[in-house]
């Protein structure tokens, strides 16, 4: 994060400004990804005038970063009308799309409207794997074609690679594809529960051996020795730290006008069809509860050696039953990164095989362990 952005975030936090918002225009999609956390049926999306009015309200509230996502954003016929209105309000705009509906005309319009970046999910460099995940034959080819068009117009493209059991060994191939396409590459080894709380898709999460391989890959994380260093423990500064930006400088708005702290934190906090956006942001009891939480308020995490360095997501913790509790998925990631289990992980693993044995076996015969421990997180 640059110094200027850090300064903006600091001021937004101090002044209570919603610096960043993700707005999903629709949950409808032309793909049916096996790991998707959304209900793709239309239950009454906001109209074009409603969305334009919301954009005006968000601009007046101080929103600067606007991520427009879905579903598939281009499933809405009014997408470019909405995008043009958003740019007129001078948001810094990031788009998330699968790219399947992007042709020369769409790429040109995106370029002309000055979009900051476009993120496209690529699950594998192999069509048979990617298309099986999206359940749409030819989707890899169409997404790659869209990326080429966007890059041809000089648009910054981010290729997002979500890892799951079906593509756990393909991230190197996707990274090479991103380099070939002159696109940025990011990898995410977390499958998110469905927004309605259904956790069945978590069976798609990669196992411990695969997580460890990702977190100890210098090409992905940089200095492995520094990235995987033992956690320093929790000090007074850490105890007073915020869990993340959700509800503090950022929030999420669904296609139906529902406001949540984050897209991965489905705590209903108001609806813009009934209440002004700025009033929800300032006065929602749910958002104010989220804002009140510090690390010291989390009984388990505040006592954990990983407390100061864990990537704990309060949304995932909320979906596991307690926004003030640990997130098992994040405990898994901390363990894969450092080899040191959290107290929460020790308790959860106590009824299965010992962690030390898993670690020793993983270091000795990683392929065998990957085959034997393919249980979902």
Summarised one tens digit per residue, pLDDT across range 70-90 is 999 999 999 999 999 999 999
The residues near 19 (Cβ < 8 Å, ≥ 6 apart) are 8, 9, 12, 62, 63, 64, 65, 249, 250
Q: How many angstroms separate the CA atoms of 94 and 154, rounded?
A: 15
Residue-level pLDDT at 216: 87
pTM above 0.75, yes or no: yes
Q: Which residues pair with 70 in a beta bridge?
A: 26
**Do the Cβ atoms of 328 and 320 come closer than 8 Å?**
yes
Q: Which of 198, 194, 215 is nearest to 206 (CA)?
A: 215
Structure tokens at 115: 């979009």
212-223 per-position pLDDT tens digit: 999 888 888 888
**Do the Cβ atoms of 369 and 361 come closer than 8 Å?**
yes
Residue-level pLDDT at 312: 86
Least confident of 65-74, 80-89, 112-121, 325-334: 325-334
Q: How many angstroms separate the CA atoms of 98 and 36, rounded?
A: 13
Q: How many angstroms separate the CA atoms of 165 and 37, rounded?
A: 16
Task: Indicate if the pLDDT at residue 372 is higher than 70.
Answer: no
**Mean pLDDT (whole number) for 347-367:** 44
Order across the sheet with 20-26: list the strands: 184-188, 157-162, 117-121, 92-96, 65-70, 20-26, 250-253, 259-260
Q: How many angstroms separate the CA atoms of 132 and 245, rounded?
A: 34
Q: Are strands 20-26 and 65-70 parallel, antiparallel or unpaired?
A: parallel
Structure tokens at 331: 């405990």
Read off φ and ψ for residue 7, nearest 5 degrees.
-65, -40
Read off φ and ψ for residue 259, nearest 5 degrees.
-105, 135
* pLDDT tier, 229 (very low <50, low <70, confident <90, very high otherwise): confident
Q: Which residues pair with 26 in a beta bridge?
A: 70
The residues near 367 (Cβ < 8 Å, ≥ 6 apart) are none
- What mean pLDDT value characterizes the chain? 89
Least confident of 195-204, 329-338, 366-375: 366-375
Q: How many angstroms separate the CA atoms of 62 and 240, rounded?
A: 26
12 or 348, greater pLDDT:
12
124 or 241, greater pLDDT:
124
**Mean pLDDT (whole number) for 31-58:** 95
The owner of tokens 């460890």 is: 212
**Do the Cβ atoms of 93 and 86 come closer than 8 Å?**
yes
**Do the Cβ atoms of 270 and 288 come closer than 8 Å?**
no
Structure tokens at 18: 């919603």
């Amino acid at each position: 994060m640059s110094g200027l952005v850090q300064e903006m975030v600091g001021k937004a936090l101090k002044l209570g400004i919603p610096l960043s918002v993700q707005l999903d225009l629709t949950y409808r999609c032309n793909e049916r990804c096996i790991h998707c956390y959304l209900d793709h049926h239309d239950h009454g999306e906001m109209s074009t005038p409603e969305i334009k009015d919301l954009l005006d309200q968000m601009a007046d509230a101080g929103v600067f970063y606007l991520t427009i996502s879905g579903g598939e954003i281009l499933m809405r016929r009014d997408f470019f009308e909405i995008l043009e209105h958003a740019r007129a309000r001078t948001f810094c705009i990031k788009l998330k799309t699968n790219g399947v509906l992007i042709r020369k005309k769409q790429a040109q319009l995106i370029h002309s409207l000055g979009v900051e970046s476009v993120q496209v999910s690529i699950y594998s460099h192999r069509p048979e794997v990617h298309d099986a995940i999206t359940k749409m034959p030819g989707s890899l080819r169409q997404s790659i074609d869209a990326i080429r068009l966007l890059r041809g117009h000089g648009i910054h493209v981010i290729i997002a690679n979500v890892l799951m059991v079906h593509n756990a060994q393909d991230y190197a191939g996707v990274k090479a594809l991103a380099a070939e396409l002159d696109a940025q590459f990011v990898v995410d080894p977390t499958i998110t529960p469905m927004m309605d709380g259904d956790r069945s898709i978590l069976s798609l999460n990669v196992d411990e051996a695969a997580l460890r391989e990702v977190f100890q890959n210098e090409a992905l994380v940089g200095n492995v020795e520094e990235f995987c260093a033992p956690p320093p423990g929790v000090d007074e500064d850490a105890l007073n730290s915020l869990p993340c930006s959700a509800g503090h400088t950022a929030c999420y708005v669904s296609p139906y006008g529902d406001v949540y702290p984050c897209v991965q934190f489905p705590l209903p906090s108001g609806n813009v069809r009934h209440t002004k956006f700025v009033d929800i942001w300032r006065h929602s009891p749910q958002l104010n509860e989220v804002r009140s939480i510090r690390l010291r308020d989390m009984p388990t995490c505040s006592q954990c050696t990983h407390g100061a360095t864990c990537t704990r997501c309060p949304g995932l913790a909320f979906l596991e039953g307690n926004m003030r509790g640990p997130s098992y998925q994040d405990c898994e990631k901390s363990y894969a990164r450092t080899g040191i289990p959290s107290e929460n992980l020790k308790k959860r693993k106590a009824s299965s095989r010992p962690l030390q044995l898993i670690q020793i076996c993983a270091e000795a015969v990683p392929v065998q362990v990957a085959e034997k421990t393919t249980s979902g997180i």
